[in-house]
Structure 1
Amino acid sequence: MELTVAEKIRIVLGRQNKTLTDLAEILQMSRQNLNNKMKRDNFSEKEIEDIARALNLGFEINFIMEDGKKI
Structure 2
Amino acid sequence: MSVSEQLKILCVKLGISVSELGRLSGRSPQAFNQKMKRETFTVDELKKIAEAAGCKYEGSFILPSGEKVTY
TM-score, normalised by the number of residues in structure 1: 0.79
**1:35 correspondence with 2:33:** yes
**Secondary structure in 2 matching 1:53:** helix
Q: Which residue of 1 aligns with 2:18?
A: 20
How far apart, in 2, do the equivalents of 1:10 and 1:63 lie? 22
Structure 1: unaligned runs, 5 residues or longer: none
How far apart, in 2, do the equivalents of 1:58 and 1:18 lie? 17
State the Cα deviation string for residues 20-57 of structure 1 (Å, max 9, x = none).
22112211211111000111111011111011112222
Let me know the Cα RMSD of the aligned residues: 1.6
Identity of aligned residues (%): 30
Structure 2: unaligned runs, 5 residues or longer: none
**Secondary structure in 1 matching 2:27:** coil
Alpha-carbon shift at residue 66 of structure 1 (Å) = 6.4
Q: How many pairs were matched up? A: 69
TM-score, normalised by the number of residues in structure 2: 0.79
Amino acid paired to 2:2: T
How far apart, in 1, do the equivalents of 2:33 and 2:6 lie? 14
